[in-house]
Amino acid sequence: MITPYHLNKTIKGDYRMIVISDIHGHLDRFKSLLQKVKYTPEDYLIILGDFVEKGDQVIETIHYVERLKQNPRTYVLMGNCEWALDALLTIPELASQIPQYLKRISANGCIREVYHKLHLDDGKETMLGVQKQIAEYLSEELKFISHLPVTLKMNQFLFVHAGIEKRKDYKNSSLSSLLEMQYFLDQGHVLNEMVIVGHLPTSNYSTHTIDNQIIIDEKKKIISIDGGTGVKSISQLNALIIESKDNQITYQKEYVQPLPYSLVYQEIQQEAHDIHKISFPYFEVQIQKRESQFSLCYQKETNQTLWIKNEFLYRKHGKDYCLDDYTDCMLSIPSQAKVKVIGIYDKYAYVIYQDQVGWIELKYLCMKS
């Protein structure tokens, strides 16, 4: 059972700080990001929780984070996924939820990995037995994640996974608020510190574009850094770099996004048009007109009508849905420009050009990287 606790540290003199959140078992991506920001043991490294579940390298990620934490300048906070993982494997009353967790909540992760490794999918064991065996197998990992702090106050910064309630005594915020609060950037806080969070992908704050970049709001004193790794099909792992020199604070942003590159060999000019976006939680749509490549759809809650690529539409229980975050942006791109390729869908390519996601016809794309 987790007992929340809070850290308070002070750094004297100049420093360089690297802040990363929501790794979600993507160890290769995490290592690439540390290399890209030129991390050294002299830096302060802060991991804002949710380094477990949703990825294929969760156990390896836990072990790697444990090794990093041996450096006294590394601080690892708890996220809602660590909280949930511990609860699911240590509270007997939650054992019955393991099948639902495996099926709906976490398609990848260490619970699923151990579940299959111990052949618990043969149906011979009760859910309490399944819970006990997985917990025993992951005993050392659970010991590590169950003893992580939920907040870290360091100089003029407060680090927390999701957010804090609007109260000066932020430590008395509920554990649910600290680890699960939604849309903290919209809610704000009353502290003097700059509050730095992960948890909610930054793209969720953008109404018209798919944008996973770090958001720095000096007025609200909030920085949101989750790039959607393990949650969004179009995602990146972000790092916020904070440098203090002669008491002057500067911020830098860096990220990794492992997508293949390609060249546009002919200039693409699109007519100006309104850009629409489908995003969590409003994926249900009404199809108004079907064509060979795209279908004209209406999204009720956001009152948007847009063309959605047919491959992104699916039907469930008599209703139509968009598969994931989606934009109908048709991109204009100069000749010989380099783009990142998200995917090829029949005669169209879904690409990223200068951090903007959108569509181009496949005929303009040179598939040699």
| Rounded mean pLDDT, 57-65 | 97
Per the prediction, the chain carries an average pLDDT of 94
> Helix H segments across the chain?
27-36, 58-69, 80-90, 98-100, 110-117, 127-137, 139-145, 175-180, 184-187
Sole residue written with tokens 């003893």: 147
Residue 331 has which token pair? 């991109």
Phi, psi torsion values for 143, nearest 5 degrees: -60, -40
- How far lies 26's CA from each of 14, 49, 56, 65, 288, in Å? 31, 13, 7, 12, 39
Interatomic CA distance for residues 131 and 119, integer angstroms: 13
Cα–Cα dist 238/332, whole Å = 27
Residue type (1 letter), 304 = Q
Average pLDDT over residues 286-295: 97
Question: For residue 223, which of 178, 169, 185, 179 has the smallest C-alpha distance?
Answer: 185
User: What pLDDT score was predicted for residue 108?
Assistant: 81
What are the residue boundaries of the structural domains of the chain, listed by start?
A: 6-256, 261-366
* Spatial separation of the C-alpha atoms in residues 59 and 74, rounded to whole Å: 19
Query: What pLDDT sits at residue 208?
Result: 86
Confidence tier at 369 by pLDDT (50, 70, 90): very low
Compute the C-alpha angle 196/66/10, nearest 5°. 45
- Strand, helix or coil for residue 263: strand
Distance CA 187, CA 181 (A): 10
In angstroms, the CA 156 to CA 192 distance is 8
For the segment 326-339, the average pLDDT, to the nearest whole number, is: 96
103: alpha, beta or left, given left = phi > 0 and alpha = psi -120 to 50? alpha
- Looking at the chain, the whole-number percentage of residues with pLDDT higher than 90 is 89
pLDDT of residue 106: 55
Mean pLDDT across 343-351: 96
Adjacency order of strands within the sheet including 284-290: 304-309, 294-299, 284-290, 319-322, 313-316
Per the CB < 8 A criterion, the answer to whether 294 and 310 are in contact is yes
The string of pLDDT tens digits covering residues 107-153 is: 688 998 999 899 998 888 899 999 999 999 999 999 999 999 999 99
CB-side neighbour CA atoms (13 Å) of 85: 33
Torsion of CA 215, 219, 221, 222, to 10 degrees: -20
Q: pLDDT, tens digit, for every residue of 255-266?
A: 999 999 999 999
pLDDT of 11 over the 50 cut: yes
pLDDT of residue 101: 87
Rounded to whole angstroms, the Cα distance separating 90 from 86 reads 6
Read off the tokens for 367: 């598939």
pLDDT at 350 over 70: yes
**Using 50, 70 and 90 to split pLDDT, how confident is the model at 368?**
low
- pLDDT tens column, 65-114: 999 999 999 999 999 999 999 999 999 999 999 988 887 755 688 998 99
Q: Give the pLDDT of residue 207.
A: 85
Instruction: State residue 100's pLDDT score.
Output: 87
Task: Determine contact, residues 236/220, Cβ cutoff 8 Å.
Answer: no
Q: 93: helix, coil or strand?
A: helix
Using pLDDT thresholds of 50, 70 and 90, give the confidence band for residue 337.
very high
DSSP reduced 3-state for 250: strand
The tens digit of pLDDT for each residue in 237-249 reads 999 999 999 999 9
User: What confidence score (pLDDT) does residue 244 get?
Assistant: 97
| Confidence check: pLDDT of 332 > 50 | yes
Q: Would you state the pLDDT for residue 217?
A: 98
- pLDDT top residue among 124 and 20: 20
In this prediction the pTM is: 0.93
CATH superfamily of the domain spanning 6-256:
Metallo-dependent phosphatases (3.60.21.10)
165-200 burial, b at 16+ Cβ within 10 Å, e below that, comes to beeeebeebeeebbbbbeebbeebbeeebbbbbbbb
